[in-house]
Amino acid sequence: MRTLARRLALPAAALSAAFALTACQSGDPKPAPAGDASAAPVKEAPAQGAKATPAPADSSAPTKGSAAGPQEAAPAAQPTAAHHTEAAQPAQQAKPAPHAQPANTASRPTTCTAATAKVVASKVSRPINHLALTVTNTGSRPCDALGAPFVGFDFSQSPIRILEDSKPQAVVTLAPGESAYASLILTGEPGPDTHGSTVKKISVYLTHDSGVTLTAPKGTYADDGAAVSYWQRELSDALTY
């Protein structure tokens, strides 16, 4: 009887265990379909008063007092006394290189020409057989009465001779309105081969290519010995020749 009771108890216990396992499997929730947001696990917010777990420290950042960390920056070097002296004294500015000053062309004399000067031939009482030539600067700038004028009578082929003894020590420069003078000697030493005639026109050239033709004073007579002086500052100096 005891043996029979044991045999019947074993199958009953196994059957009870099978029913219990089946009940547990049938009570499990079904898995949520893919894409269902409600099925995603939700992280629970930490309870109030709970301390947040600090983020792990960056192992690359040096810790205070660590031998591997960069050393503190060395203090900036103090300027030496020489630097202080240079800072205290203003920098000496370099002097600009001297430039050549442009010439003042407005005040530089030019050569007196027929365009900037007026020429007049006039009689004089003494010495006899002389005429006075006067050149006056009519321009707005100074001009030089260079050398001696080139003088010809009527339609002569060449100018009369120049008295080299009358050459002044310096060129006569005329300011606007000033005049210079030359002596025109009409006759020379008479001789058997001397030829002369009454002059109607006198050509006076201030340069080789700039001159005027004047009407000779009435009764002007000239011969082969005619000559002219250099330009002089004073009329009295010109008439000494």
Residues 76-120 pLDDT 10s: 555 444 444 444 454 555 555 555 544 555 568 899 999 999 999
Tell me the average pLDDT across 111-132.
95
On whether the CB atoms of residues 174 and 232 are closer than 8 A, the answer is no
Sheet containing 201-207: which strands, arranged edge to edge?
A: 150-153, 201-207, 210-215
Q: What is the DSSP letter of 158?
A: S
Rounded CA separation 16/3 (Å): 21
Tokens 């321009």 correspond to 139
pLDDT of residue 193: 78
What CATH number was assigned to the domain covering residues 110-238?
Answer: 2.60.40
* Angle subtended at Cα 173 by Cα 172 and Cα 176, rounded to the nearest 5 degrees: 135
Measured on CA atoms in the order 82, 87, 91, 92, is the torsion positive or negative? negative
Higher pLDDT, 138 or 76: 138
Higher pLDDT, 40 or 193: 193
pLDDT of residue 37: 41
Residue 228, pLDDT > 60, answer: yes
On whether the CB atoms of residues 120 and 127 are closer than 8 A, the answer is no
pLDDT of residue 104: 55
On whether the CB atoms of residues 193 and 185 are closer than 8 A, the answer is no
pLDDT, the chain, mean:
73
Burial class (CB in 10 A: 0-12, 13-18, 19+), 150: middle
Tell me the average pLDDT across 63-88.
46
Tokens 């002059």 correspond to 199
Higher pLDDT, 116 or 60: 116
- 70-79, 143-152, 162-171: which range is least confident on average? 70-79
Closest CA to 153 of 215, 91, 238, 83: 215
Sheet containing 161-162: which strands, arranged edge to edge?
A: 117-123, 130-137, 179-185, 227-228, 161-162
The domain spans of the chain are 110-238
**pTM tops 0.75, yes or no:** no
Tell me the average pLDDT across 47-67.
45
Higher pLDDT, 26 or 203: 203
pLDDT of residue 113: 97
Q: What is the DSSP letter of 38?
A: G
